[in-house]
Amino acid sequence: MSFPSAPEWIEALEAAATEVVSHGGGSDLPEFEAGDAAAPGGGAFISLMGPGHSVRLGVVGSTPALKRLAAMLTQEEPADDELKDATCELANVLAGNVRKLLSARVPELTLGLPVYSTQAPALERYQVARSALKLPDLSAELWVMMPKAAVG
Amino acid sequence: MKILIVDDSKVTRKFIGRCIRQAGLGAHDIEEAENGLEALKRVAELAPDLVVTDWNMPHMTGIDFLHQLRSSGSQVNVGFITSEGTDVMRHQAKEGGARFFITKPFTPESVRDALQQVLP
């Protein structure tokens, strides 16, 4: 089977984010729209490696947005000094759920370790797809970064 | 009861510890390790009754940690709480002797249900 396309990765990432938000117990489920060109803040990125291909998934947002999303995992907002750790765990959970969603399509996927960044990574070598996650008073972005050589 | 929580995320270790305390299954001494290598040492030192471990960690995966534990002769109860939950991984965990397999995101209730199966 072929490696999933960027829109397919985004679709799986949106489904994983919806699972996290619904797990968080709020009454609202997220809506998604095309992401903005400007990076809205820091975030965490994690690689998924398959045979001959790889993709990086990210969750990016303002500090309050990332704290609220992370709190949906752990039922309490992380402290300032826990933001990096909590955001990396959020990326890890999203990627783990994406992996499960796509495991029939790409069974050999393996997860890397999440990395937090206060700035957008260099994007020249990537095709980037973004989805803006919208909840009341919360906006964050889900990123899919595919090496251009792999996009073909 | 001594319970060792192994996860490279401190906030997740804290949350798992909170879930265990909220489970209402009696008092537990909860210890932590942030990766499999550290956990192997901690198991030797502490002789815990249960190890709750992540899968995707630096230095050593959770399943490699479980295999090394068994190779060392330890028969401690082990359960996974992990972001990855493919059928293959569940099968590997079961084959390795894991007692439960919880995927993230998880709730205190899912931790309580798993502990009830393992703890006397």
Domains and CATH numbers, chain A: 6-151 (3.40.1550.10)
Contact B55, B61 (CB under 8 A): yes
Could you read off the pLDDT of B68-113 as tens digits, one per residue? 999 999 999 999 999 988 899 999 999 999 999 999 999 999 999 9
pLDDT score at A38: 61
Note if the bond before B105 is cis, omega within 30 degrees.
yes
How high is the mean pLDDT of chain B?
Answer: 94
Of A70, A76, A96, the CB nearest to B83: A96
1-20 in chain A: CB under 8 A from chain B: 19-20
Contact B101, B16 (CB under 8 A): no
Q: What number is the ipTM of this complex? A: 0.91
B104 touches chain A (CB under 8 A): yes
Element (H, E) at A91: helix A83-101
CA Rg, chain A, in Å? 14
Share of chain B above pLDDT 90, in %: 85
B64 touches chain A (CB under 8 A): no
Q: Secondary structure of chain A: what % helix, strand, coil (to 5)?
A: 35, 30, 30
Domains and CATH numbers, chain B: 2-118 (3.40.50.2300)
Longest dimension (CA), chain B: 34
pLDDT score at A150: 55
B86 touches chain A (CB under 8 A): yes
Calpha distance A37→B102 (Å, rounded) = 37
